[in-house]
Amino acid sequence: MELIVATGNAHKLLELAPALPGHRLLSPADIGLESFEVEEDGEDYVDNALKKARALYSLCGRPSLADDSGLSVHALGGAPGVRSARYGSEEGGSRLSSEERNALLLKRMEGAADRDCAFVCCLVLVLSADRFFVVQESCPGLLLEAPRGSGGFGYDPIVYLPRLGKSVAELTLEEKNRLSHRGRACARMAALLSAIEAAP
C-alpha cells in the first residue's frame, strides 16, 4: 500500500520504511504538499496523531499515516510527554535543538534517584473519513546522567535500556526497529495493514 506520512522529519521516514516492508512511504512534500503542518495541541499522543492523519487525508484523499511520539519521565509526572519536540522552548519562540533539550532535561533531573522513563509512540492510519486504526506502544528505560551514542535522534542518547546495556542511540537500526516504541508500534501497524490488504 502507498502511504502518505504526516511528517517532514526525514529521520522518521528512514525508521518507518524498513519497519513497514512492502509499503511505499511518501512525505507530504513528495506529493506536492510543501507546507503541510498541523498544530499538535492534543491532550495525548492519540489526539495528536489522529489530528495529523485526518488533516493529511483531507488534503490528499489517500491512505495517511501519522505518528506522535515522545519521552515520558516518571519523576517529572510524565513530562516532556506530548510536548517532547517543544520541550523547553518559549511559547511562540524557536525550538531548542535536540542537544539543548537533552541538556535541559538532564539538568532538571540532576540528582534524581528515580530515573524511570519510557518512549511512547502512537501511529494512526486513516483510510477514509470514517475509517481509521490506532496502535500505541512503549519502550521503557532509564534516563542516563550524560548522553551516550551517536545513532538515532532526539532523546535517544539519554535513554538507557538495561536489558541490552546500551542507550537507544547505541542500537543498530535493526535493533531499534525491533525494540523501540516506534518499532513495536510499526510491527502492530504492519500486521493491521496485512489484514486490511487481505480483506475482501
Spatial CB neighbours of 87, under 8 Å, sequence gap ≥ 6: 79, 80, 96, 101, 104, 105
φ/ψ (deg, to 5) at 171: -75, 150
DSSP string, the chain: -EEEES---HHHHHHHHHHSTT-EEE-GGGGT-TT-------SSHHHHHHHHHHHHHHHH-S-EEEEEEEEEEGGGTT-BGGGGGGTTPPTTSPPPPHHHHHHHHHHHTTT-S--EEEEEEEEEEEEETTEEEEEEEEEEEEE-SS---SSS-TTGGGEEETTTTEEGGGS-HHHHHHHSHHHHHHHHHHHHHHHHHH--
**Catalytic residue positions, numbered:** 68
